[in-house]
Structure 1
Amino acid sequence: MKDKSSILVAELNRKDEKIWSVFYDRFYAALCVYVAKILPVPDAVEDLVQDVFISVWESRRTFTDIKELTNYLYRVCYNNALLYIRNNQIHDSILNSLAKDEDSQDEDMVYVLTVKEEIIRQLYVHIEELPAEQRRIILMRIEGYTWDEIAERLGVSINTVKTQKSRSYKFLREKLGDSFYSILLCLFF
């Protein structure tokens, strides 16, 4: 049985209009945040991201999986932001400031932040796939509640919370892979 990401990619490849809003909701905000870090022109950020979505729709390109689609979206957003800077003659001041700041630590930090945002986005997508009780427990943990506080607020035993937590972690580990999952444990849990 296909997971939701595989279905999304397959339907997107077929240009299914019904899936378009799901695709848009899943990526739009994250891509806007990413482009805003590159392009300090707030009015242009949303237009640029929307243009990327239009180009995906109009393109004959197909994607094999969600990773390929995600990489494509970020790469096109990055390239289009640089083209915008160049074409609108605002690049001198921006590129000069980037050149001053462009040591390997800054590049690494931008990459790390981008990867972190994408991992977090994927986490929330998969949390939505959890059964309601597990989803509620994980979201409360992300909000900062201790396991004991979660049990008390939900009116269940700590053992119930621990069982649901274990099931949720197992599901998320399977969906995200061990490397992403390890990073998430450090970030949230």
Structure 2
Amino acid sequence: MTAYNCLSDLELLDLVKSDNESAFAEIYERYFGVLYLHAYHRLHDQDEAKDLIQELFTYLWSTRRVLEPKTNFSNYLYTWVRNRVLNVIAHKQVQEKYLSTLPPLDSSVESLTDHRLRERQLAAIIEREVALLPPKMREVFMMSRKANLSYKDIGAQLNLSEQTVRSHVKNALKILKARLGILFYLFIIFYK
């Protein structure tokens, strides 16, 4: 069994090139903390710093077979992080400059738009779940909820007993409650 923590960076890199995940894990353990601190010190955002370092390790793994650092490996990693941090900062500056040129938004319009977007998303989720119901149950359920027909009217149209219609609607609600979880209660409000 190889003691990966005793190997040099270049030895680990050679093993990583041959798809050795344990060697990669050692590089990750060796450098994640210090690279994270390096990125965080410049970005002052924990999530952004973690994302950047995760991106680095994803990049390292995906390019492992062709990876040939021109300097020593730690310098290569620090340089990669520094360049990415500079890119992030430059992007933020461009973004801030652009946003400062936009006219201020009316917050009531923004919240109304946000509310409508969430309502459409909720409706799409509900429609998708209703579409997954068994055909007859879906038909009965839609007639009950969308067309607002009584159980008696639905039964007459589909040649079903009122009790069968009631059972279809009850079972549909039970299935939807299980699938939608907390969204089910919003569904009740939405489909009233």
TM norm structure 1: 0.44
Question: Relative contact order (C-alpha < 8 Å, sep 6+): which is higher?
Answer: 1
Larger Cα Rg: Structure 1 or Structure 2? Answer: 2
